[in-house]
């Protein structure tokens, strides 16, 4: 007499329990993986953008009449526009540029600070400041340039200067949110032929305080550089 051989298998209940466990684990880990990936991409873009702008400005200074040629007074002068068009732009891969008009800054206004307040010089979808130059790179990085007087550059942006300077707000992930200074928007200052991070002349305590949930976020690029390109968990989404 033949005996039927039976094969052991999972029951439907066991399969459902296993799938449920997998789902819970995925729900817990995938957001972290995605966030870490986005942060890595953003840091990579920040490094590349900083290096590219630095090199472009150095080439600019080597080919025109020098740093003193450009007037970075608050409210762009024609010399600043000419400097951008004829000297800086040819050294960059610019996809689109705008002169105090919509179309180049992120489309979702307003730009926020780390503490949740609106940026004091927010101009909606035009950019940050007044009479500004904004351009988009082919890497989907948005750069907002505005002239600022020496007192504001020192008091607000933490860089001691001996004349008016150029302030750059750099949105490393383009039109994606959160559009917050210190999280995906970082500030550079162009002074004395060098591009340096906002907060460069502040102490570590001052930089840490500004780059916190109660701060403005202006000095977060200095924070990143001082910590060997390491960022806080809540920076860059």
Which segment of 40-49, 160-169, 228-237 scores lowest on mean pLDDT? 228-237
Per the CB < 8 A criterion, the answer to whether 161 and 153 are in contact is yes
**Confidence at 69, pLDDT banded by 50, 70, 90:** low
Q: What is the DSSP string of 69-87?
A: GS---SS--HHHHHHIIII
Residue 3 falls inside a structural domain? no
Full residue range of the structural domain in which residue 61 is found: 12-226
Residue 234 falls inside a structural domain? no
In the chain, the percentage of residues whose pLDDT exceeds 90 is 47
- Burial of 112-147, coded b for 16+ CB within 10 Å and e otherwise, reads bbbeeeebebbbebbbbbeebbbbbbeeebbbbbbb
pLDDT in tens, 11-38: 777 667 777 777 666 566 666 666 677 7
Residue 7 falls inside a structural domain? no
Question: What residues form DSSP beta bridges with 135?
Answer: 97, 143
Residue 78 falls inside a structural domain? yes
Question: What residues form DSSP beta bridges with 112?
Answer: 118, 180
What was the pLDDT predicted at 182? 92
Residue 156 falls inside a structural domain? yes
**Confidence at 237, pLDDT banded by 50, 70, 90:** very low
pTM comes to: 0.83
Residue 73 falls inside a structural domain? yes
Per the CB < 8 A criterion, the answer to whether 59 and 82 are in contact is no
How many domains is the chain partitioned into structurally?
1
- Burial of 84-103, coded b for 16+ CB within 10 Å and e otherwise, reads beebbbebbebeebbebeee
């Amino acid at each position: 007499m033949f005996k039927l051989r039976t094969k052991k298998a999972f029951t439907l209940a066991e399969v459902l329990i296993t799938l449920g466990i997998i789902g819970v684990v995925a729900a817990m880990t995938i957001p972290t993986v995605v966030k870490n990936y986005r942060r890595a991409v953003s840091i990579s873009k920040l490094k590349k953008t900083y290096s590219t702008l630095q090199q472009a400005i150095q080439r600019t200074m080597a080919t025109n009449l020098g740093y003193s040629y450009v007037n970075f007074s608050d409210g762009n002068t024609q010399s600043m526009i000419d400097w951008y068009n004829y000297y800086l732009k040819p050294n960059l891969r610019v996809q689109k540029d705008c002169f105090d008009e919509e179309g180049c800054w992120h489309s979702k206004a307003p730009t926020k600070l780390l503490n949740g307040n609106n940026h004091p010089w927010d101009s909606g979808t035009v950019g940050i400041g007044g009479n500004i130059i904004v351009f988009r790179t082919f890497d989907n990085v948005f750069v907002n340039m505005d002239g600022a007087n020496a007192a504001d550059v020192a008091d607000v942006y933490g860089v001691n200067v001996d004349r008016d300077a150029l302030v750059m707000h750099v949105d490393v992930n383009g039109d994606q949110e959160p559009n917050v200074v210190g999280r995906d928007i970082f500030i550079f200052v162009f002074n004395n032929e060098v591009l340096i991070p906002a907060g460069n002349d502040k102490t570590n305590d001052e930089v840490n305080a500004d780059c916190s949930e109660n701060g403005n976020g202006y000095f977060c690029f200095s924070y990143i550089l001082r910590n060997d390109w390491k960022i806080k968990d809540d920076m860059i989404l």
